[in-house]
Amino acid sequence: MEEEAAGLPKAEESTKIWSRLSSWILFVLVLLLPLVVNPLGTDHFVLPKLVFLRLATLALVVLWVLDAVFKQELALRKTFLDKPVLAVILAVLVSAFFSIHLQTGLYGEYRGFSYEGLLTILNYFLLFFLVVHIVDSREKALLIVTGLLAGLFVVSSYGILQHISLTLGFPFPTTGPTAISVTFGNTSLLGGYIALLVPLAFSLLLSSDFRKLNFRLLTLVVLTSLVCLFFTRVGSAFLGVGLAMVFVVVFDFGAIKKNWPNKIPILLFVALFWLVIFFQGSISKDKLTSFTQISAINSRASKALMWQPAFDMIREYPLLGVGPDCYGLAYPKYRPANWLKLGSARVYVSKPRNEILYTASTLGLLGLAVAAWLFITFFRKGLSLLRSLGSGQGEESTPGSRALLIGLLAGAFSYLVYLQFSFREPSTTPFLWILIGLVVAGFNLVNDQKNDIKISLRFFQGEKSGLVIRQLIAVVAGLLFVLASSRVVYPLRANIHLQNALDYEKRDDLKSAFGEYDKALTYIQDEDYYVHFGQAYLKLAQDMRRPVDIDQAIRQLEKAVEANPVSSDTHYELGRAYLIAGRIENRQDYVKHSAVTLGRAWELDPYSPSTLVELGKSFFFQGKVKEAIKWWEDAVQVDSSNTEAYLYLGWAYRQQGMKPKAIETYKKVLKLEPGNSVAEKALEKLLRKIY
């Protein structure tokens, strides 16, 4: 060949570089993804991980393309999940484009820090595709597994330290001795991450296949992760891990019997762990009362209330659902009134904490059907491969060996069990698709798949300039990666500017805050950014009483409504701004606008006491006192602890000459808020006139 004669490296040597580099980037991804945080933004945890995931995926795509270019052949591996995956992608695409809000369906929801729109779901499937194509040897499989378990050990170790209030200079405070969240910002997400990976570590520890690995290190990983899991107190993760461990013991019993004396200590510790979990849960009064009392967001009764709106969404949008990641956007319209008994009048729920209901309500019954097809096919083929590998005694450690396969299947099973009582986010879900990708890669290796689709790229064969042209393609690919990466980090940069703006607001430096809001909006035009911007101008308007500031506030909030016309919050904030503007400038047209806009907010969220109170104000200032009373009575019926609604209601009763009702109302205010000066003075005047 002319390339060899010229002393140039062979194409095979170049492709080995790209392939090896891909493996190490995947290793870095699985190791660092759970650890990535951003202390500079408003979202410290989810968004940084999502951006890191996208950057790593971009890098892997570029390297995969370069590998094909230098091999002069594009090989697409066929897998048993090809058809189900394509069906799910198609269902998500259709659901996104017919969602109740296109932008949320495409990019995900900002306010709930979920971001699991079409773009992120496609990222998951692309990651699965890349794992299947990158992991083509025993060494690469073990490298990825090592990264997964190393990340699990680091996260679990820090979780234990956080439980005893040792942060080691970490920039985020602990959540106290009753719950930990480490680098996930949410205890439930931490529990889900551990539920995904501890079955894998447990399987490798019990298997004689992996005794060549450092047995003590594997023991340390399992013990540390179980202790951290115990401190999370996430019941759904306990259930998932417990069933997964049973799965491991049943399917790997042959390997456990081999050299079983070495495994007695770890089995005793695991048995003790589950005994502690069982007896703690059995005697806990909180656990027993949570079956019937709506006292916390994780109680059984509250979860039932979260599930009911999902059924209502399915009834209204049966085929395609409300759209990817649109559950939180649609939820206020469907939530029952007694949900507010949790103690917050504006509780925000972005997931129903049940994966089946979440999939059916967001992607429709069509999406649920194809997702079920995918996972049933995955476990059916995985168990089929498990049977084909025999008892697992004496086998060599290959990517498709029993120990690794059982651990991967058990991890995926554990996470799916966990999801039936919790929720997923980009912090944890990528690891599910990495585990699935490793199982599929192992299946292809064990079965020696030869039915790949191969596309020849030998456009420069025999040409002396062939290698130079391929290197030029590599340079172009690198430049495209840089350009795409700069676009991927836009949401992160916007989030940092948002945090800066909020910090300036706290210091009453509104001029600097406005500058930061402007910068944030150059990167992302999200309704929440417009709302924050409008609220800052509204604050200035109330302080300075200047019409120009009111106009700016209304302009920003109108942009928020335009960006998301199905959000109850954007309509509420705009209606509130109209009402304030009408009172400051004495303009009845603004007051009437507020009634219309707040009416739309009420249609989207009929059980929001804040909206009901503001609606009452808008009618009262139009002189429609009876209508105002109706809205305020509805507000206190929904939220019996809302002192603001009671105060306005007492005021209106006085205006209407309904003194007994006014007295009763002010007494309720004082019962809820002893020492309330407004209620005390009003009540004193009313009683003086009577007696």
What pLDDT is attached to residue 61?
Answer: 94
Which of 92-106, 171-185, 491-505, 542-556 comes out lowest in average pLDDT?
171-185
Pairwise pLDDT comparison (212 vs 122), residue with the higher score: 122
pLDDT digits (tens, 9 = 90+) for 254-309: 767 776 667 777 778 888 888 887 776 544 444 433 333 334 455 566 666 778 89
Give residue 135's pLDDT.
92
pLDDT, averaged across the chain: 85
pLDDT for 312: 95
Which pLDDT score, from 0 to 100, does residue 113 have? Answer: 65
73 pLDDT exceeds 90?
A: no
Band of residue 510 on the pLDDT scale cut at 50, 70, 90:
very high
The predicted-structure confidence for 185-209, as pLDDT tens digits, reads as follows 889 999 999 999 999 999 988 875 4
The DSSP letter of residue 8 is P
| pLDDT value at residue 114 | 76
Res 436: pLDDT: 97
- pLDDT for 182 beyond 70: yes
pLDDT band at 450 (very low <50, low <70, confident <90, very high): low
Q: What is the DSSP letter of 455?
A: E
| pLDDT value of residue 5 | 41
Is the dihedral angle over the CA atoms 236, 237, 241, 244 positive or is it negative?
Answer: positive
Task: Flag whether pLDDT at 599 surpasses 80.
Answer: yes
Between CA 410 and CA 248 the distance in angstroms is 7
Amino acid identity, residue 550? I
Average pLDDT over residues 113-133: 93
**Residues paired with residue 454 on neighbouring β-strands, in sequence order:** 75
For residue 691, what pLDDT band results from cuts at 50, 70 and 90?
Answer: very low
Strand (E) or helix (H) holding 570 = helix 568-585
Residues 597 and 617: their CA atoms lie apart, in Å, by: 13
Separation between Cα atoms, residue 235 and residue 187, nearest integer Å: 11
Q: How confident is the model at residue 485 (pLDDT cuts 50, 70, 90)?
A: very high
Please determine, for residue 640, whether its predicted confidence score (pLDDT) is greater than 60: yes
> For the chain, percent helix, then strand, then coil, each to nearest 5?
75, 0, 25
Question: Is residue 611 scored above 70 in pLDDT?
Answer: yes
Question: What are 75's strand-pairing partners?
Answer: 454
Check residue 327 and give its pLDDT.
94
For 644-666, b/e burial (b = at least 16 CB within 10 A) is bbbbbbbbbbbeeebeebbbebb
CB of 389 closer than 8 Å to CB of 405: yes
Q: Confirm if 107 and 115 have CB atoms less than 8 A apart.
A: yes
Q: Which residues contact 215 (CB under 8 A, 6 or more apart)?
A: 205, 262
Predicted pLDDT at 577: 95
pLDDT digits (tens, 9 = 90+) for 515-574: 999 999 999 999 999 999 999 999 888 877 777 788 999 999 999 999 999 999 999 999
Q: Which residue has the higher pLDDT, 469 or 291?
A: 469
Average pLDDT over residues 614-630: 95
**pLDDT digits over 335-352, tens only?**
887 766 554 444 567 788
Domain covering 491-635, topology: 1.25.40
Span(s) in the chain for CATH 1.25.40.10: 491-635
According to the model, what pLDDT value does residue 287 have?
41
Span 409-416, mean pLDDT? 97
Using CA atoms, how far apart are residues 212 and 199, in angstroms rounded to an integer? Answer: 19
Mean pLDDT of the region 38-60: 94
The helix (H) or strand (E) run that includes residue 75 is: strand 73-76
Q: Structure pTM?
A: 0.91
pLDDT score, position 300: 60
List Cβ neighbours of 292 (8 Å cut-off, separation of 6 or more).
300, 301
pLDDT score of 181: 87
Percent of the chain exceeding pLDDT 70 equals: 85
| Number of residues that make up the chain | 691
Evaluate if residue 392 carries a pLDDT over 50. Answer: no
Amino acid at the residue 22: S
Q: Answer yes or no: are the C-beta atoms of 140 and 449 closer than 8 Å.
A: no
pLDDT score, position 89: 97
Quick check: helix, strand or coil at residue 273? helix
The arithmetic mean of pLDDT across residues 435-452, rounded, is 81
Q: What is the Rg, in whole angstroms, of the alpha carbon atoms belonging to the chain?
A: 29
Q: Can you list the alpha helix ranges (DSSP code H) found in 338-465?
A: 355-388, 402-419, 429-446
Residue 498 pLDDT: 96
